A = this chain, B = another copy of it.
Amino acid sequence: MIKLEALRVFVTVAESGNIKDAADAVGRTASAVSMTLKQLEEEIGGPLFQTDRKNSLTALGNLMLDLGREQIRSFDKSVSIMRAFAHSRIGSLSIASVPSVATNVLPPILQRFLETRPQVQVELFDIDTAQVRRMVESGVADIGIAGESRTGGGVEFTPLFSDRFKLLCKDDHDLCRLDRPVEWSDLKAATLIRNGASDRIEAEDYKQISARSLITVYNVTSLVAMVKTGLGLTILPSLTMYGAYEGVAALDLGDTTASRQVGLVERRDVPPSPVAAAFRAFALKEIPVLVSEQLGG
């Protein structure tokens, strides 16, 4: 069977014009090169050179030089694509993330991740936790970042960081003058605007307050706008409000259990692509650090 390696040797000889130089170029002795050439000629079924001085090709030799070069080029390119993919330097990465992370965490993370992978194509969806889960489960997204939800179905949850809830109110609200964390009891008389995230808080006291609420808003921008107008207060994870909004204040809560776990959502039993695996490792290492700088600092 003809080997690509034999074609490589032949092309080198054809380009050098003699066996000695070609032998040096491929790191073999002249004798090895000579034998390879002889074998190649036998397998192809005709002479490749006009004489045994290898400086001029036969018509067959010319054809083999053209075809051989092309095969070598194409093979090497394929291999380099395979390697680049295996080492996550090329490929595509589809991320589904809750908006707070997509907005406040992912930009610098992705920038650094892509610095060494300029050929990687990224898609980023910002959607809520339930939909993140769905996108990952269906394979539309390679990896998700979302709040914790009962692990099960086809997905798996790996915690990244936890994010305490805060109270959001107008910055001239009475509660701003409190010199201590806000307790649920402080909110007895307040008008609460519910939102997608705060519904996850388990505390009974909060649930009672929440039950009285008449408004639920899922979009953060709208929510903040309503708070700013004085329509009410709301409870949101710290990260969601990171960067602060004009005219509103974010106050600590006394209930230290009021927090959400944010983590990676991945498909179970389906191994990630090299890029996804690399991003997973990168995210696991870098996101907690970044978040603790942003929130803890």
Contact = CB atoms under 8 A, between A and B. Distances in A.
Interface in A20-64: 44-47, 50, 58-60, 63-64
B4 A44 contact: no
Nearest to A87: B45
A75 interface: yes
A208 interface: no
Contacts of A46: 85-87, 274
Contact of A74 (B5, B74, B86): B74
Contact of A81 (B3, B4, B63): B63
A70 interface: yes
B82 A63 contact: yes
A60 B85 contact: yes
- Most chain B CB within 10 A, of A1, A46, A83, A272, is at A46
B82 A271 contact: no
A185 to B, nearest CB: 53
Contacts of A81: 63, 67
Interface residues of A, number: 35
Contact of A4 (B75, B82, B83): B75
Contacts of A50: 270-271
Contact of A64 (B71, B75, B82, B272): B82
Contacts of A59: 85, 91, 271-274
A185 B231 CA distance: 135
Interface in A152-203: none
Contact of A274 (B60, B70, B87): B60
A79 interface: yes
A2 interface: yes
Contacts of A47: 271
A2 B79 contact: yes
A83 B46 CA distance: 8
Interface string A85-97: 1110001000000
Given A46-B274, A78-B70, A78-B71, A85 B58 contact: no
A47 to B, nearest CB: 7
Contacts of A270: 50
A272 B50 CA distance: 10
Nearest to A58: B271
A47 B274 CA distance: 9
Contacts of A60: 82, 85-86, 273-274
Interface of A: 1-5, 44-47, 50, 58-60, 63-64, 67-68, 70-71, 74-75, 78-79, 81-83, 85-87, 91, 270-274
